Amino acid sequence: MDSRKYIIMADEQQEQQNLIYVSAQEAQAYAERVLQANGLTPTNATTVACGLVAADLRGIDTHGINRLPSYLIRIRQGVLDPSAEPALHIKTPVAAQIDAHNNFGFIAAAQGIQHACTVAETYGIGMVSIKHSNHFGMSAHLCQTALDHPSGPMMSLVFTNSSPALPPYGGRSKLLGVSPIACGAPGGPTHPDFILDMAPSVAARGKIYKALRRGEKIPMDWALDATGAPTDDPAKALEEGAVMLPMGGPKGSALAIMMDVFSGVFSGAAFAGGVTGPYDPSRPADVGHFLVCIRPDLFMSRAEFGERMDVLYERVTEGERAKGVERIYMPGELEQITERKRREEGIPFVKGEVEGLDAEARKCGVEGLRVV
């Protein structure tokens, strides 16, 4: 065996041995305890906790309950209002705007996606713009919420802007957010739903924070340090003057600008580098979101739509594979597989992450995480 492969496998085995597992139910209960102790109502605490645990279950650990300390320090610094209630204003029969009033983005976004789905039941499409918000977690969770709508699964588009991390193509200073692009559509009768959730950067910024938290290096093509040189050090990738790199050069840069147009400019929220990052407790974030829900039977029967989705799935996944590829997946399918596994085995954390979460629990006088 190649010695490098042996070392990698040994490192992975060692990491597996050092993992601590927490059930989804306990992660949810822990998050609710901590959030309620920091001023959220039980209902709103459940909403935020659901979004965080959904990310952990899908393997998007960068957007799971490890985000809680960064949110809670913003509450303690007075730049995030856990007691505010978003206000919904109807603009047309199919369009509404929500002022999040600087509460958690999860809360306004949950209200927005439900309203857009309800409107789409009648009119075929519904859209909601949100301003004065905060980070809303994993975008795929909102797509899944639309797919789980009680009246039937809805297609969705989920946009948000975020704090500066990327330079515009050809630029040197960070201006654009690592703003995810997400969409969802129900699958056919024999295949899974489609969910796309991706950042316009080579990697999501949360992955750099995760590497920093775990003492790991990052790939050299993720970011440039403050001197403009590629770096594998997550601390240098996050220092002042460092920038993340857009995927596909001008294409990733253009997608980040698109997110700012629809989520920032259009909503009345901050834009053009004005959003405050979730790890910066100095001032309100003023994030903007844009949500669209569409009834899948708007132009054909639901049955025909499902059959066509099944055909698409089969054409994508059953085509000729490139050398070394064992299986072709649809977007979101790997995360669905991870979710099934983690519901059975638990959500993995390293010791330092559990210690950090337990420290937050002690600060507000509630019980820490119960591990499996």
Task: Fill in the amino acid letter for 257.
Answer: I
The single-letter DSSP state of residue 222 is S
Name the CATH topology of 1-76+333-372: Hypothetical Oxidoreductase Yiak; Chain: A, domain 1 (1.10.1530)
Domain boundaries, the chain: 1-76+333-372, 86-201+246-318
Angle between helices 205-214 and 351-363 (to 10 degrees): 100
Report helix, strand and coil shares of the chain as percent, to nearest 5: 45, 15, 40
pLDDT (tens digit, 0 to 9) for every residue of the chain, 372 residues total?
Answer: 444 343 333 344 445 558 999 999 999 999 999 999 999 999 999 999 999 999 999 999 999 999 999 999 999 999 999 999 999 999 999 999 999 999 999 999 999 999 999 999 999 999 999 999 999 999 999 999 999 999 999 999 999 999 999 989 988 888 999 999 999 999 999 999 999 999 988 887 778 888 888 889 999 988 888 888 889 999 998 888 888 888 888 999 999 999 999 999 999 999 999 999 888 999 999 999 999 999 999 999 999 999 999 999 999 999 999 999 999 999 999 999 999 999 999 999 999 999 999 999 999 999 999 987
Of 188, 129, 131, 177, the C-alpha closest to 157 is 129
Rounded to 5 degrees, φ, ψ at 362 are -65, -35
Contacts with 182 (C-beta within 8 Å, 6 or more apart), sequence order: 139, 140, 142, 143, 156, 157, 158, 159, 195, 196, 197, 198
H-helix segments, 301-350: 302-317, 333-345
Per-residue pLDDT at 164: 94
Per-residue pLDDT at 201: 84
Per-residue pLDDT at 2: 46
Per-residue pLDDT at 202: 80
Q: Which CATH class is domain 86-201+246-318?
A: alpha beta
Q: Which two tokens stand for residue 301?
A: 């029967």
